[in-house]
Amino acid sequence: MPARPGRAGRPVTDHAPGRSRGGLTTKLHLACEQGQKPPAILLIAGHRGDSPQFTVVIDAIRVPRLGSARPRTRPGSVLADKAYTSGAAHGALG
More confident: 15 or 74: 74
Mean pLDDT of the chain, nearest integer:
77
pTM of the model: 0.63
Please provide the size of the chain in residues: 94
Average pLDDT value for residue range 14-34: 74
DSSP strand pairing (23-31 vs 40-45):
antiparallel
Q: Is residue 82 part of a domain?
A: no
**How many domains does the structure of the chain reveal?**
1
State how far the Cα of 79 lies from the Cα of 61, in Å rounded to an integer: 15
**3-state class of 80 per DSSP?**
coil
Q: Is residue 20 part of a domain?
A: yes
**3-state class of 18 per DSSP?**
strand
Does 36 have pLDDT greater than 50?
yes
Range from 23-27, 38-42, 56-60 carrying the lowest mean pLDDT: 23-27
Residue 40 pairs with which residues in a beta bridge? 31
Given pLDDT bands bounded at 50, 70 and 90, which one contains residue 1? very low
Q: Is residue 28 part of a domain?
A: yes
